[in-house]
Structure 1
């Protein structure tokens, strides 16, 4: 039997217990390092701009924007967590069992909270488009705050129960030193799959199908009657157009989210993860992470207030007195 070369082991000094590094071309490794580092920094920076914008400017303190704030917070953490994914490029974990457990735990929470926020966004747009007269009374700042807090609390509590064994004893499932894995039993995995993917995605798709049908009918009605409206009704039309634009923007966010996340959960649902090679599995995971970088780019394209707030933040105008009262809309 030929012993491993030193470069093949995560910890060459621990010949019998160290994990073995996967063999990958140096150019490919460096390319992945650079690409993921760039995406990670961009994701964290862009979502930090969203967080500062919505938190600082009072005009942006609306129930819908509060949901965008919750989504930006989860996406910001995803950007930071990508640095840990970069550590695993060589197939070795050098930060210890405790950090491995915390990384996996926070990743589960942020992903679940992100999906929960997507459900809340769908409910928000459903009420705004399908029941516009009840929207100001049903979707209030206080209720949205409570829903967002419950979303994060439920995510933390559920995954604390799901990962209780690994939280009690980090590194339980590691087969060698330098590994960072978490194994969930079959029943718990199915429950997590339903609560974190199948259930939320079903709700999102059903609500947005309804929103799409109503939005199309409203758009046709506005086009056919807009010439006969008085000034007062024109204002109502402008308000309705604003709601439709918001529904379109958040619809794009939801669709992009599903495109990026579905491959990961589909692999988990079909149980084909063992048939994927390392590169394919890595691509599926990174695609789900990349969604967090796309959301602020969508806001930049669709929301003028975000572009304006970014200019004010970058030029340090927000440091001036009463800058929070600037007309941003």
Structure 2
């Protein structure tokens, strides 16, 4: 890439990172603070897990993607460790989406008595533990780190594919850890929509139909999150497949950077999607912004009041000094003192 292209790529990455951080912090605040008793619902707990993973993409994955592009010289071990962090965050997103799909599927089969808050957070913990195990798998030996790299006196430039094996990325990460869960989630959502459509046809109770319609709308929103994830991440993995089969000449460097930007942008788009598709989160967003602006206006009003009070006090003091201050402060002079000053 030319210099201006690299500057443009880095600038877009910075914007994506800022959007990831701000948007997903807002999601966590909306769920944890803005929606009453939301953390008792498994779906919102898994949404918080997904938002945390997207937030960490902005905090860690995006800076590492820029850094691990040959700009720093690190030991192969440290380079491999930092590259695995990106894989961990990807797995956390996939497993959070899978947990959401399983939760919506089981919800149709009356499992509410089993879905306690403790078990839900236990499931979230299991998702993150599995993410760490799967993401840090290259540390166990399936990598490009060779003994010649460790014996060199000067560490080579650290890049992602210099330490992460392409067969690992294609066969294990893409086919096993991304495509397999995506296929399972697709089947689950197909089953969910088929079941909801059948219940809507069989139900004659208006309240039951309204509840089923809300359930279908939420399922559509969550399925859209899944579709956007697949659209954002699959192109980059397909490029890895081409690199493995045909070699480095199969994919241009600009295409790789475009795929990286697309995958990172997914973490910034999710909070916007929640705002437009999930009513509870939309209402929580509105409440948070309303409180923010009310508090900000209150602070400005208090500052203006303090300024007006201070200005009034200073004006009053000035008037007192001009009208009565000099006469009050001037002491009567004696005969000797008068003659000295008058002379």
TM-score (norm 1): 0.74
1:202-247 CA-to-partner distances (Å, cap 9, x unmatched) read: 211111121222233344556xx4xxxxxxx433333222211111
Distance 1:182 1:301, change over 3 A: same
Q: Give the match for residue 197 of structure 1.
A: 178
- Is 1:216 aligned to residue 210 of structure 2? no
Which ranges of structure 1 fall in alignment gaps of 5 or more residues? 1-22, 226-232, 321-329
Aligned residues: 283
2:274 and 2:281 in contact (8 A); partners too? yes
1:289-322 CA-to-partner distances (Å, cap 9, x unmatched) read: 111111111101012332332344345569x9xx
Out of 56-65 and 138-147, give the one that drifted further: 138-147
Q: Give the match for residue 108 of structure 1.
A: 87
* C-alpha RMSD over aligned residues: 3.3
Q: Give the match for residue 215 of structure 2.
A: 243
- Is 1:38 aligned to residue 15 of structure 2? yes
1:264 and 1:288 in contact (8 A); partners too? yes
The CA distance in 1 between the partners of 2:193 and 2:211, in whole Å, is 18
Q: Give the match for residue 293 of structure 1.
A: 268
- Structure-to-structure mapping, 1:100-179, within 5 angstroms: 100-129=79-108, 131=109, 134-165=110-141, 177-179=156-158
2:18 and 2:58 in contact (8 A); partners too? yes
TM-score (norm 2): 0.72
1:74 and 1:114 in contact (8 A); partners too? yes
Q: Give the match for residue 234 of structure 1.
A: 206
Of the three residues 309, 317, 327, the one matched with 2:284 is 309
Q: Give the match for residue 64 of structure 2.
A: 84
More helix by share: 2
Which ranges of structure 2 fall in alignment gaps of 5 or more residues? 296-343
What SS does structure 2 have at the residue aligned with 1:137? coil
Out of 112-121 and 309-318, give the one that drifted further: 309-318
1:108-163 CA-to-partner distances (Å, cap 9, x unmatched) read: 1110111111111111122234x2xx131243333322221111111212333432
1:75 and 1:292 in contact (8 A); partners too? yes
- Give, in angstroms, the shift of residue 253 of structure 1: 0.6
Distance 1:244 1:140, change over 3 A: farther
- Give, in angstroms, the shift of residue 38 of structure 1: 1.1
- Is 1:279 aligned to residue 246 of structure 2? no
